[in-house]
Chains A and B, each alone.
Chain A
Amino acid sequence: AAQTLEDVTSRGALNCGISTGLVGFASQDANGEWQGFDVAVCRAVAAAVLGDPSAVDFTPTTNQVRFEVLNSGEIDMLARNTTWTFSRDVDLKLEFTGINYYDGQGFMVPAALGVSSAKELDGATVCIQAGTTTELNLADFFRINNMSYQPVPISTASEAQQQYLAGSCDVYTTDASGLAATRAAFEDPAGHIILPEIISKEPLGPLVRHGDNEWGDVVRWTLNALIAAEELGVTSANIEELSAGTDNPEINRLLGSEGNLGEMLGLSADWAKNAIAAGGNYGEIFERHIGQNTPIGLARGLNAQWTEGGLLYAPPFR
């Protein structure tokens, strides 16, 4: 199974698995174009491998089928809000290639409820999206804090939101990013507050099959390139200019004007340049799809560069 890269190049398109729809991360516009934060990772990989960010065939996947679809070879990579866990990595024989979003599970309640901490939620009815780590975290959190609750599992975010607004549950829990996105779409966002507790670590990242390390490297380093680009100040605006050569050797190695990193990966020298040019660096992608100026309005938080107090830390390109 060590030939995914060849398959992709000979096919001329990347098969990328994404979510069937998650506001800000993967959704379709009126023209049927996939847009979103996860989608951008796919496009970047396609640009890196094939030089064309639009050479992606998206396969929407549900929670149930995502790993099978990857394992059966139907898709080359899965870029969908999937939490990196031990058992998924080891037992399910998947390979997580990095983290594109540091999330954590949080709670949203109507402001009128007068709750200010998750510890006050004893006896509450909680809406969750079924079939994710969210349920496990929730169970653990309430058990540890000796509280009872009623889970209401819902299959899609739009239905969960519908139930929450109708008052079928007191609390809506999902990853904090999802909470923010949901809240932003409300008629009255101010009427709902996101509680301060984050009860879990949810590192979300793209993943590939076990056993094809070359392909894993491609995906891993494409993601790292996006992150490093932001750290190094490479943006879609200045990339043409910088790729001509700079006095920063790391930028040069990244953009292929120096060294042979691309060759080592089995790609062209300008692979990272293409990846970054596809949708900009990590920061640009973030701002375009889920940042402060979008209706979703997420702050960078943990997803800021390490230099700015966040956790984003791309290994060096050398």
Chain B
Amino acid sequence: MAEAPKKMKVSDEVAVDIRAMNKWYGSFHVLRDINLTVYRGERIVICGPSGSGKSTLIRCINALEEHQDGTITVDGTRLSSDLKNIDKIRSEVGMCFQHFNLFPHLTILENCTLAPIWVRKTPKREAEETAMHFLEKVKIPEQANKYPGQLSGGQQQRVAIARSLCMRPKIMLFDEPTSALDPEMIKEVLDTMIQLAEDGMTMLCVTHEMGFARQVANRVIFMDQGQIVEQNEPEPFFNNPQSDRTKLFLSQILGH
């Protein structure tokens, strides 16, 4: 991996604020009393065993899932069932999925310009320029006119990141962006994310890449059974976990 980025100063402006949030699937209580404040420029890594609600948590933040109790405020906008608020929040929050979810019928460039043109109403010319800019940033400008099916997994994930960036989001959410990739491709994607972090993007990232967490995270959050069990800076978190659950979990993933 590239040299460690300077851990950037974090502002005290609040980017995401979650208060006493609860969520049920039917009668199953997935998220319990979540309280989380994310400051602008902060990079947060969320980890935890499978089924602990990590994905659900970050999906709640851009309203892909609705929550039943508590409040979520993103960049000052309170998430409610009002469609306008949802639109506003989504245009400020970018998201990157485990399986990339590129649009297979559009070229890479079209994937990147679709939303800017139709949602942001950016002129096509300009949208394409932006797209090329971000494609350069993720180091695949030469693939612009290919289709997703013609790219490798790592390249696809980088396109997915570029696609989100084209909407110029203030916050990026990543849901296990590297877990569907072959080992050699993981590096490509992590490098791209590290670069993003260096540029000061606010990021929430579900991942089990502990190297990445150590290198870029301001804070690591450990979830279990729908709750935040422990949060801390990476160094104390990894070297000296407090809760028994965390210790157990870390011993498992670091051991192998």
> In the complex, are there CB atoms of A and B closer than 8 Å?
no
